Amino acid sequence: MRERIIPPASRPADGRGWIVASLAALFAIALPVFVILANVEYVTKSEWLYSYNWWRNGIPERTNLPASELNSGADQIKDYFTNDEERLDLLVNFRGEEISLYNEREIQHMVDVKGLMQGVFNAVRITGGIALLLVIAAAFYFGRGAWELLTTTLRWSALGSGIVVGILGIAILVDFDFVFRQFHFLSFANDLWLLDPRRDFLIIMFPQRFFFEATLFIAVFSVVQFAALMYAVALARRRFGSEM
């Protein structure tokens, strides 16, 4: 009597399938979060965005401060996001006198902003570390089989993330004011972010258009990176797929 061969799909599961699916899902989430938040950190710590803002929104004319003093203020804010100081005392030279530019309400809001930004910076390290550890674990655990798993997960993760960021980008273009307000309602437990553009220098220096365009830069960078990642994966699969 001939031996009946059970097709691979009908063989009992070894119990690892759900583990593989869970780790793949974790990687698919950790990678795009890392990419997007890394872009947030890059833009926040950049110099070009602030210089562009001074020119784009006429900030020297609105504040009666030269670009050099505005740049000094931006540097103090960036330092504040990473140092141990609880409060920000932003000092500028105004008509030959050193003054504290922000009032108490603005200073208290910056305390909240610092907590949010430090959370972003920490999340970049955590999600990047998780993604890297999962790649190493997959290579160690599955050997050559990790190649197919990783490239497939990367492709779908990049595609899904690019679509989500694209949708958010459209929402921002359609009604940024609504998105901006909802972000603040979700991010802060108080209304200190509601500042007066006639007298509060924080919002005079960084008007809503600054945040609108900064958000667009982050979205564009992220979509381009996801597209590049998908292209790189497709190219690698064509070139090396048969060898793995």
pLDDT digits (tens, 9 = 90+) for 202-218: 999 999 999 999 999 99
Give me the chain's average pLDDT, please.
86
Tens-place pLDDT, residues 51-87: 999 999 999 999 999 999 999 999 999 999 999 999 9
| Whole-number pLDDT of residue 178 | 93
Contact, 43 vs 217, CB < 8 A?
yes
Q: Where are the domains of the chain?
A: 18-243
Residue 24 tokens read as 């793949």
| Whole-number pLDDT of residue 237 | 73
- pTM for the structure as a whole: 0.86
Q: Tell me the residue type at 201.
A: F
Q: Is the pLDDT higher at 10 or at 106?
A: 106
Q: Which of 59, 41, 79, 11 is nearest to 209 (CA)?
A: 59
Q: How confident is the model at residue 100 (pLDDT cuts 50, 70, 90)?
A: very high
| Whole-number pLDDT of residue 9 | 42
